[in-house]
Chains A and B, each alone.
Chain A
Amino acid sequence: MTAKIPEWIEEVFERYLTAEFTYLDGEMPRTVAVLPYYDAKKKKILITTSPAFYKKVGCVKRNPKVCVLFSNSRYSGIGGNAVVLVQGIAKVNENIEENLHYLMNLMINYRDCWKKRVLEKMAEELMSPIVKWLMDWYVLRIVIEVKPKRLIFWKDGKIENRPEVLEVVD
């Protein structure tokens, strides 16, 4: 079935605190826990990483077919245990200055939820002089934009059952 991203799934993207991002390193899948953003205007999931972990970026540039799993509703304020797997195409933006402005604006306009508070708290912590000195490398972010192509989901979280599948239209 082909469709736009359902509203409840967009809410999952916005409010689930963490997700699991998988990319391919040759034939080996590599999965990392991430704190993703969702750009509701662009309909894209954003994974950010420091240039210190550039190996991941290199792999994504070589093979942009990735997936992002939203499997943990804890701290999201959303009832139930919906699990959503997004298969999509990734695009890397390495312009660090542009990314900083983009992410700041996105955060300011982000849906009011616990995740927004966590992101704000993290940003505040990074502003203290000592943390700024220690973590200057961490603040610089490369953005990996994931454009969803296919959504595989279990609204009730019962992963043992056959999932619903949606091919996403632009």
Chain B
Amino acid sequence: MKLEKLIKGFERVIVSIQANEFPISFPAKFEVREGKLMVEKPGWLDVKIPARACMLFHRHNEFVKKIRSVTLYGILRQRGDILEFEPIKCYTFKQGDLNTLRFIISGKKRARKFFKKLAQSSKS
């Protein structure tokens, strides 16, 4: 799916990069150009670039329902004052109907696997 379509309706993105010691995150406005995400580089940002980065788009209502999120993993490069993000992997989630059912089933399976592993490790 095209990046523009994936992130349609979102007004900002959370940019996360590994800085010197801790990771750093900040909200930013964005633009899409030729399949890449463009974010203005804040003047105070002092990190080594190119770097691996995560871009999170998310929203919800006042009850933290109607959740929609898009997470992109990729490489961040600098072009002048602009940070250019090239997505490599993408995960999307939209709460409701089949997606919620999938979330529940997958959660149940994963949790069962976790407790099975835990029981095995406590036996040995």
Contacts and interface: CB of A to CB of B under 8 A. Distances in A.
Interface of A: 17-18, 20, 22-24, 27-33, 35, 50-54, 65-67, 69, 71-72, 75, 83, 85, 87-88, 114, 118, 121-122, 134-138, 140, 149-150, 152, 159-163
Contacts, number: 124
Given A66-B22, A114-B62, A150-B22, A71 B14 contact: yes
B107 to A, nearest CB: 4
Contact of B62 (A53, A66, A75, A83): A75
A29 B54 contact: yes
A18 B114 contact: no
Contacts of A114: 62
| Interface size range of chain B in the complex | 35 or more
Interface of B: 14, 16-18, 21-28, 40, 42-44, 52-54, 56, 58, 60, 62-64, 67, 69, 71, 73, 104, 106-108, 110-112, 114-115
A23 B64 contact: no
A159 B104 contact: no
B52 A29 contact: yes
A24 B19 CA distance: 11
